[in-house]
Structure formats: C-alpha cells, structure tokens
Structure 1
Amino acid sequence: MAIVKMKKLCVMAMAAQRQQLLRELLHLGCVEISEPDGKLADPAWSALLKRENSRLLDTKSEITDVNTALAAIKKYAQLKDGLFIQRHPISEAEFLGDETAERARTACKRIDSLLQTISGLQSEEGRLRAKRAALESWKGLDVPLENQGTAHVLFRMGVCPGSTDTGAVRQALGQHAAEIFEVGADKQQTYYFLICLRAEEQDVMESLRPFNFSAVTFQDVTGTAEENLRSLDALLAENETSRKAAEAEIVKNAPERDALRLYADRLSAEAAKESNTERLLTDGTILFFEGWAPAERMGQVSDLLERLGCAWEARDPAEEEYPEVPVQLKNNWLTRPLNMVTEMYSLPAYDNVDPNPLMAPFFILFYGIMMADMGYGILMILAGLFITKKYRPKGTMGHMFSLVTLCGVSTFIMGAITGGFFGDFLTQVVKLTTGADFALPSLFTPLDDTLMILVGAMCLGFVQIVTGMAISFIRKLQKGQVLDAVFEELTWWIVFAGIGVMALGYGNVVLYVGLALVVLGPIVTGKGLMGKITGIFGSVYNHVTGYFGDLLSYARLMALMLAGSVIAQVFNTLGAIPGNIVVFLIISLAGNTLNFALNLLGCYVHDLRLQCLEYFGKFYEDGGKPFRPLAINTKFVDIQND
C-alpha cells in the first residue's frame, strides 16, 4: 500500500453553473477545493476575482435547530441511543428527496415552537417560585400585606440577622410606644412585624439600627401571605400542567426522529457544500478554484468537468508544493484499521511512505504477545465482529473495532501457544469438579519460560528496528543521500553482524570493519578537526545508547504477557480456595473482567509506544495534511448507491 498520488487542479467555469458543479463534486466525493490564497497564475486578472458568497451561516443555523429538536425528542421521550448509533441504509434519491426534508422542517418548526412555550413556562415558574419563597416566611402573619397601618399607627414588616435576640430588640423598644412580634426565623434571617406610633417612627427605627433591622415591602400584593401562597400554588400547578402538555406534544413528534436525523445528515452535506462555496473565486460571470484530486480518480473528475464545459488542467505537484499536498492513505482490509494509529500520531508527509503496511504485522503481533489469552482473544473477536456488522461504525470508531478484531485473532493464537484461557480457568474448573489435574497444551508458558520470552521479545524488537533502518536506508538512497545511508544504517548493520559472528566464534574481522566505518563516518561528513573528533564520540554514544535503549523497550512484551497471566491466575486461585464452583465462577469472572479491561487499554498504549517511538523514529517523516474532499459524510444513515 502507499500514499495516494495527487493531482493539482485548476478549474474555471461559468458562475451560473456553481450550484450544479458543487452538487456534482459533492456526489463524486474526491475533490478537495483549496482555500484561496491570492497566488493565482495570472495576477493581471486574478485581482478581479473575489470570494463567492454562501448560505453557510443559514445552514449552520438550520443544523442547530434540527439538533435542538432531536435533543428535545430524546429528552422528553426518554429515548436512548445506546453506545452506537444504528445506521439505516437509504438510497441517494431518498436522501436528497424533498418529502422527508419537508417533514423534518415541519417537525422542527413545531418542536421549536413547543420549546419556546416550555422555556416561557419555565421562566414563569421560576418567577412564581421566587415570589413564593419570599412570602413563605411571612405565612404566620395574618395581617394583609398591603396594610400599612392607620392614621396614627404604623405597621411595618422587617428582617434582622438570624442570630438576633428578640428579647434584646424588645428591650431596646421599651422607651417607645411600640411592639415587635417575631413572625418566623431561619438560619439567615429573623422576620418581625413592627407596630408603633407614626409620630415615633424615626426614633423607633433609630433604636432598631444596632440590630440591622431592614424594612420589607411587597409591591402589588394584596391579602395575607397565606392567601397569596395558595394563589401561587394554584398558578404553579396550572403552569406545570401546561408544561407537561407541551412536553407531551414534543413526545408525539418522536416518530419524526428518523426524518430529522436524515435531514441533519443532509444539512451537514449542504454545510460542506456551502463551506466550499466560500473557497470559490468569481467576478460574477466566471468562477475559479484550485484543488486536489487523487490521480487514480482523475478519469471521473475529467468526465464531470468536460460534461459541464469547464476549462481545467491537472498536473503533478511540484516538489516545493509537497507540504501543501493533502495526504490520503491507500489501504486494504488488513492495514486500514491502522489508520487509527497513524492519524493519532500524525499523517506522513506526502513524499514519505505509508506506515500502515509496514506497521500492521508488528502492531497486531505485539498486541497478541502482550495479551496472549484464548479467552480474551475470543471476546475481542466477537465484540469486534458484532459491533462492525450490527452498527457499521465509520471513521476512527470503525477502524478501532476492526483493529480489535485483528488483535483478537493474534491474542487467541498466542493464547493457544502459551496455553492460556482466562489464565488457568479450565485447570481450576476441572480440579474443582472432578479433582483431576488438567492443563491445556502449550509450547511455552509465561511463568515457566520467562527468560526465553524476554529473549524472544528483544529479538522481535531487533527485527523491527532493523526493518525501520532498512526503510530509512532505501529512502536515503532514493533521495541521493548515499553517505548518510552508508554511515547511518549500513555501518551499524555491519556492527550488528560482527557482534553476531563474534558470538558464534567465527572471528572479529567483521566487527572491526564495522567499528572502522563508525569512526570513518564522522571524519568524512564532519567539518573541522574538532567537529570530526566530537562527531566520532557523539555517533558512538548516541547510536549505542539509542539502540540499547530501544531494544530494552521491547522487554515490555514479556512484562505485559507475564503480568496478565499472573493476575488471571491469582484471581482464579483465590476463587478456588473455598472449593465451591459457584464462588469460583463469581470471583474468577470479576477478576478476569478487571484484568481484561486493564490489558485491553494497557497493551494498546504500550504497543503504540513501540511503533511511534522505537519504529517510526527510524524512518518516519510526519506533517501530512489529511485529504478532506467535498463529500457526503453521514452520521445517522448509510447511503446506498442507486
């Protein structure tokens, strides 16, 4: 597999064909329209062009409305999507048809109106509850709240801090013709009803100042607090009835959920089209754009452009344009799931190599080595196949579950080799039920052959490191960097071979040749005497410590295999101690579930580290921009070809 070769497109068309051209490109799904940067080929006329206008803001507003309607249906109808959205197959004609779209628009407007009603009712409810809370503390007062007293006597409601001593307040008022009654109290405030002569109002208020007495009034409120509370309760009940009726009307729109979802996907496609519209340049009569298309699909692109009468050209990108060329990876069923890993790290540069086929065998094998259990492998295979077939997830989620399936196969195979099935689950079951000793056949086991597994893991690591060096060696030769290829890769291959020959007892000549090349490299490529001398020491130190550290990193293959096996066996042993098969199954199930969950993530993280650091570091050049063509990308439906 490889990086898809791209063609640089320059297209001119009549402005009147804009909608048809964009619609056809959307259907084709293989042309990325570049963001205009003003660097057109002919500056004499390029200044006459300006960006095309679009309905992108209106479309985004419609998307928001549809998503709001879907969220309302989900909330009030109490619908659950589950972990994955069930995609429905649909023809392109139905996807672009007007009937479903009109149903969705009507439902969207209806739900929006109901949501506004609910919002108003909720605001009114908040106002009523706030008013009720203010009156609640005065319900013990049987005096009408609007009553301010008589011609000579003043009635005044007020509050003091919750810690106020009522006895002290009354004592302070003892010299006045006044009386104060405690109506109620809470942690924050004490509520009082004050009666005094109007002629002494100022003196009474001055006596209450040390107690932080604050007057309270209720505007437009008549009757006692109790009467008002009953009235507010009736209004709140009426409000709740109206709100529930509006919510019930939203629930009645639940059958329109599929239509709304389809319309959401359609609007998403429209938004993509309108976004690309803004990248077109026009003077009102013609339009112009530049873009990228895969070379392998240029036949379809040229047929479309010729049919619409466009003036166009397609050429290979110049080397200085490589940083701007979008990257698309061409993969098969085996390597496609590894897009998840590559995209998480970074896409390769356009003139680099596709890492997926170079990484897939190692990633899948290493994962199986670390997990190494037939039971876990079966669970991964079943989960991956079930979710892929039933829900058909796309993008990263689709890649993830395809990768889970492949790694599950590897895990099962390595489990068969090491004799692991949920640790020693079968051994314990047979012993508990029959008393006989039983063990699955195996070539080796993590507990008995730990050193052999460690050596094997480091040998596999050496193979991957050498593979990365070989890729780098070929890439450097292709670029004409012969000396770098010789002194960075070939030299150390000779050193590695020399160490192997010496270990086998066939002499040290090959090793001496390699060491001589290690010294010669910095002398040939270095500048100045000091540069050559420091280059020798730097090359030896960096390469020796680098390769040694990289090889040690692969010890994690053995460590995770051993850890997973030991944890599973520990839980199985704990479950077998009571000698009851039911207790054993409960403890073993709980322990293996925990072990499986931890290893599922742990093995992925450590496998990812080996690929991205030890392997990619030898040859990989990242920095590629993802290829994002104008295409229909759906979330809720699968469009079938008509």
Structure 2
Amino acid sequence: MAIVKMKKLRVIAMADHREELLKGLLKLGCVEISEPDDKLADPAWAALLKCGTSALAETRTELADVNTALAAIKRYGQVKDGLFIQRKAVSEQEFLGSESAERAKAASQRVGGQLQELSRLQAEETRLLSRQAALRPWVPMDLPLEQEGTAHTVFRMGVCPGTTDTGAIRTELAAADAAAELYEINADKQQKYYLLILHREEEEKVQEILRPFNFSATAFQNVTGTAAENVEQLDKLLAENRRRQEEATAAIVQSAEDRDALRMYVDRLNSEASKETGAERMLTDGTIVFFEGWVPAEKLRQTETLLEKLGCAWDAADPTEDEIPDVPVQLKNNWLTKPLNMVTEMYSLPAYDNVDPNPLMAPFFILFYGIMMADMGYGLLMILAGLIVGKKYRPKGTMGHMFGLMTLCGISTFIMGAITGGFFGDFLTQVVKLTTGGDFALPSLFTPLNDTLMILVGAMALGVVQIVTGMAISFVRKIKRGQYLDALFEEVTWWVVFAGIGCMALGVTNLVLYAGIVLILAGPIITGKGFGKIMGIFGSLYNHVTGYFGDILSYARLMALMLAGSVIAQVFNTLGAIPGNIVIFIIISMAGNALNFALNLLGCYVHDLRLQCLEYFGKFYEDGGKPFRPVAMQTKYVDIE
C-alpha cells in the first residue's frame, strides 16, 4: 500500500455559515485544519483577519466534569470495565440527539454535586477526628475544659515528653516550696498529659521550675464541658457525618444507570472538542472565515460537495516542495498490513515523501516472530486470543492493531512450530511416555536442539535478504530523485561485493569481487574532494564492512530466541515428568509454559522490533511524519452506524 496523497485546501466561507461548515466537516471526518500561525505572523494577514472564537474551553471543562462523574461511578459503584471496553453501536441520530445529552448532563451535574458534598463531608470528618484525637487523652479528667481556675488558684493543662519523670517534677516543686500540685492525667509513647493546680502568686515561679522539663501548656478554645462529654458529642457528629457520606455515595452509585449515557456523551464532547479546535484555527474578519488545511485526494469529491453546498470559495492543490515537511501523513493499508501501524506509530511515521513501511515490513516482521516463537501451542493461543478479542470487543486504535498483529504472528508461530515439531515444547512426547510408556515425537523438518548451526546460518541468510531489500528500496528512491552516483556507490557497489563474496565462496570466480573492490575505491575518489578522497576510501570501507557485518550478525537472535524458548519449555516438561504422575506433570508443565509464553510473547516482539527499526529501516526509512488529525467524530465507547 502507500501513503495517502494529500491536497492543500484553502477555503473562504461566509461567517454565518461557520457552524454549519464545521458540523459538515465533523461528519465527513477527512479535513485537517492547519494552525494559522504563519498567516498571523504576516502583517498583511494580521491586519485583515484574526483567529476565531470557540467554546473549546467550556467543552473541555464539561468533558472533565463528565469524566470525573464516570470515575466516581466506577469507584463508588464498584463497576468493573474489564480489560477491554465494550463498544456499543449507536445511530448517528442517537449520538447527536438532545435526549441522551440532556440525560448525561443531568447525571453529570448530579454526581458532581454529590462529589462536592462528599468532599466537604470528608474534610469535616478529618477535622472532627483531629479534634477528637486532641481531646481523647484528657477523657480521664473530670474538670470542665473551660475552667481556668478560681480567685486564688490557676488550673493549667499541659504536656511533657513521654520520657518525663513525673516524680522528679513533684520533687522539684516540693524543694522550691511552691504552692502547686501536679496530676498525671494520661500518657502515651510520645507525651504525658498533666493538670497543674497552683496559687496565682506562684505562677511565674512554677513556670521556671517546669521549663527544664519542657512543659507546654494546652488549651481548648471555645470548648465547654469535660473532655469525655466533648468526645461523646464528637462521636455523634462523626456518626451523622458518615451517615451523610453513605447517602452521598449511594446517590452516586444510583447514577450508575446513566453510565452508558455518560460514556456516549464523553465521545460526543470529544467530537465537539475536535470541532471547536478547528473553529479556533479559522481566521475571520466578522464577515467571512478563511482556513487552510489538508484533505486526502480520494476524499476531495465529498469535501467539494459540502463546500459548494455552503457556497464556499475553495481551492485544492498538490503540496509544493516547501510544504512537504508540513503535510500530515495517513497510511493506507489492507487487512494484512494495517496491524503493522502499531510498529510504525511506535517508531515514527514516515515523512510524506517517503514510502509506507508497513507492506515492506509485514512479511519480515510476521515471519521473524514466528521463527523466534516457533511452537504450535503458543501459536494457537495467540490466534485464539486475537480472534476472540477482535470479534467480541472490536478494539480500535493501537489495541486493535495489537490483537490483529497477534493473530498474524500466531499463524506464523503455528506454522514454524509445525515445521520444528514443537507443541508446548515436547509436551505430547512426555504425555505419551507417562501414559503408555511408548516413544512419540511430532514430525519435523528440523529442530532447534539438533540443527542449531543450520538455523543460525538460515537466520543470517534471512538477514541478508532483508538488508538487501532495504538497500533495493533505497536504490529505487535515489534513482527517482536523480541521485545516480549515490545509488551506484552506496547500493550497487555493495551488491557487487556481496555477489563477489558468494562467487568466491562457491569457487566460481574472483572477478566479481575485484569489480566490487574497484567500485569501493572509485566512489570516494569520484565524489570526494581533495584529501577527503583518500580518507573517504578508509571511511567507506570501515563503516560499510563493520555496519553490514554487525547488521547481519544481529539476525542470530532469531536462532537464539527459538532455541531459548524450546529449551525452557522442554526443561519444565522434564521437571513435571520426574514424579511420574500425569496430573502433577500437567500442572508443572502448564505453569512453566505459561511463564515461557509470557516472556517470549514480549521478548520476541522487542527483538523483532529492533531488527525492523535498526537493521531494516536504517537502509531506507526517513521518519518525522506528522499524523493526520482531521476534524472528526472521535469515539472511545461507541461505534457510530
């Protein structure tokens, strides 16, 4: 397949038609409105037009409120979404209708109000608990907390560190002949709580005596009655607080019946946000609106119909050479190559004037994954997981690509497992041996343990094929650009060298290799300047020889992972077979194979990704493409029919 051809779109419309135009573009979902920064930087444009206003801020605020309501319903209602979102099919009329929107708004406001009340009650509960914790150590004291003394005496509550010796304080007070008495009310690991009764005329003297013991006075402002009475009152307030929290929580849980409406409204608000973002990028003088953007060439007819219906003046043209870096990229793929978008997007989209890497990468990625995993049992699990999830949950985006890719790689894994005779390692061999005592082995063309060297050579041969393919793509692109010398000395030269090495190894002739060496020497001499001609020869030799050797050697990982997966599976099967009990064997074997499967599922993907992104893409790929983001209905929870 290929990168979708884009057209540069320029549109002028009446300002009165702006909203209708945006709604039409939203339904079409194929026009990206560009940022107007370059226009506003031009004084001539800035004097005529300015950015349009929009309700984007309000839409995002409402979207945040609805998402908060959904999160609250999920949290307090103990609603479980599962690993995948069940997308509900709805009509466009239902999606854009006012009935579901009003219901969702009411539910969002209702849940938001309950959340605010719940937050207030929780803050109040924290305050009450703090007050109660401060009063609880003083519960044994019968003295009302507001009582500060009499005409001649002072009642002073205070605390000292938990290691304080109460007897020592009393001794000091007695030795100073102070008219004071100290009572220990309570104690914990951190502090001791005291009531000090003293004569008013002795207050300053007693304070000096207590200062070395770090005595700190405690007071409760605006509190009447004993500590016990206050703690009891706080218990009642806390009980009432928690009852009201339960009511608020129950009200939130009750709103779970509106969850589907809220989720659909989230999708609608996301679509509205896309529309309002486009509105902000339009330029206007109050009478007309103007915008520039991009539209796929294959969608131009539908766009033209909408623009002419609204009486717009418009123009569509191919991007110029200067505009190429700004052209958004959209990949057009079929069922086989579309799942590879996951890999391409993870790495980086190609530049607009580059090639779509998915069809060029798909055969290698899928084949290499199957070689590394190489087990019929693991392949079946991958195929079933991909098909079941894809059919039942219909995931989209990266998740959809992942399970599509899992299915394709599962097929490759199953085929390679059939070739190497692996089914959860040697699971069937051990089962037959434990149950009948006989010998059994699945038929195979080769096995990782017995044909390791052959697999290694084959893996490196596949590496040569992929690297040469990458060079061929680069060669074609350079020829199209008119870079004939670069194509000759970068690609053709080394093809001749590779062919010469092959001919020499087969004992056919050495002339092809000599021709390749001549081209290696000629390249820097012809294209270089001055002393750079000589240095270019050594640089070219070093970079290419070490580069190609290292790249080809990297493909040894195909053999290494195939061998590792096979050995680990057989080790667990052997361990399970040691007791001689079929039940114990199945338990140990399945547990070990589950671990092996999980490790290889990720490990094979990572190593396969490395081969594509480094060894393969490095030969021809130019990244840096900007994703195509049209004004469109963006849905996460529903499918619009």
The answer to whether the superposition gives a TM-score over 0.5 is yes
Q: Which residue of 2 aligns with 1:606?
A: 607
Q: Which amino acid aligns with 1:32?
A: E
Task: State the partner residue of 2:545.
Answer: 544
- Which of these residues, 322, 336, 339, is aligned with residue 338 of structure 2? 336
- Tell me the equivalent position of 1:372: 374
1:136 match: secondary structure: helix
1:619 is the counterpart of 2:634: no
Q: Could you tell me how far 1:51 is from its partner in structure 2?
A: 0.4
Return the alpha-carbon distance in structure 2 between the equivalents of residues 73 and 44 of structure 1: 53
Selected match of 1:231 from 230, 233, 257: 233
Separation (CA, whole Å) in 2 of partners of 1:625 and 1:188: 62
Corresponding residue for residue 326 of structure 1: 328
Q: How does 1:176-325 map to 2 (within 5 A)?
A: 176-325=178-327
Verify the 8 A CA contact 1:38 1:46 in the aligned structure 2.
no
- Aligned position for 1:501: 503
Amino acid corresponding to residue 624 of structure 1 in structure 2 = G
Q: List per-residue Cα deviations over 1:18-49 (Å, max 9, x = no partner).
A: 11000000000000000002438997565210
Greater shift in the superposed pair: 46-55 or 416-425: 46-55
Whether the 8 Å CA contact 1:352–1:620 is kept in 2: the answer is yes
Per the alignment, in what secondary structure is the counterpart of residue 137 of structure 1? helix
User: How much does 1:112 deviate?
Assistant: 1.3
Q: 1:507 to 1:72 in 2, by over 3 A?
A: same
The range that moved more, 108-117 or 260-269, is 108-117
Q: What does 1:39-58 align with in structure 2 at a 5 Å threshold?
A: 39=39, 44=44, 47-58=47-58
Alignment of 1:434-513 (within 5 A): 434-513=436-515
TM-score (norm 1): 0.98
2:134 is aligned to: 134
Large movers: runs of 4+ above 4 Å: 40-46
- Cα drift, residue 170 of structure 1: 0.8
Distance in 2 of aligned mates of 1:505 and 1:148: 112
The 3-state SS of whatever aligns with 1:154 is: strand
Q: Percentage identity across aligned positions?
A: 74
Offset of residue 146 of structure 1: 1.1
Q: Which residue identity does 1:348 align to in structure 2?
A: P
* Counterpart in the other structure of 2:149: 149
What are the Cα deviations for residues 399-439 of structure 1, in whole angstroms up to 9, with x where unaligned? 01100010000000000000000000010011111111100
Using the alignment, how far apart are the partners of 2:94 and 2:437 within structure 1? 65
Looking at structure 1, the residues matched to 414 and 270 of structure 2 have their Cα atoms a distance apart, in angstroms, of 41
- Structure-2 residue corresponding to 1:420: 422
User: d(CA) in 2 for partners of 1:556 and 1:412?
Assistant: 19
Count of matched residue positions in the alignment of Structure 1 and Structure 2: 639
Q: Is 2:584 the partner of 1:568?
A: no
My pick for the range that moved more, 361-370 or 492-501, is 492-501
**Amino acid corresponding to residue 121 of structure 2 in structure 1:** L
In 1, Cα distance between the equivalents of 2:288 and 2:505?
A: 74
Q: Which runs of 5+ in 1 are unaligned?
A: none
- Aligned twin of 1:556: 557
- The answer as to whether partners of 1:63 and 1:268 remain within 8 angstroms in 2 is yes
Output the TM-score relative to the length of structure 2.
0.99
- Assess if the C-alpha contact under 8 Å between 2:161 and 2:190 holds in 1: yes
* Aligned equivalents of 1:155, 1:249: Cα separation in 2: 49
Deviation at 1:222, TM superposition (A): 1.2
For 1:283 and 1:392, the matched residues in 2 are separated by 45
Judging changes above 3 Å, is the alpha-carbon distance between structure 1 residues 41 and 299 closer, same or farther for their aligned structure 2 residues?
Answer: farther
Matched, 1:60 2:60: yes
List runs of 5+ in structure 2 lacking aligned partners: none
1:201 corresponds to which letter in structure 2?
E
Whether 1:102 and 2:102 are equivalent positions in the alignment is yes
Asked if structure 1 preserves the Cα contact closer than 8 Å seen for 2:39 and 2:45, the reply is: no
What SS does the aligned partner of 1:278 have? Answer: helix
Contact 1:472–1:619 under 8 Å retained in 2: yes
8 Å contact 1:522–1:535 — kept in the other structure?
Answer: yes
Residues 521-548 of structure 1: per-residue CA shift (max 9 Å, x gap): 11111101x2111111111111111111
CA distance in 2, matches of 1:519, 1:389: 58
Using the alignment, how far apart are the partners of 2:135 and 2:442 within structure 1? 77
The match for 1:386 is: 388
Distance, in Å, in 2 between the alignment partners of 1:138 and 1:495 is 93
Amino acid at match of 2:547: G
Q: Paired residue for 1:395?
A: 397
Partner SS, residue 47 of structure 1: helix
Deviation at 1:184, TM superposition (A): 1.0
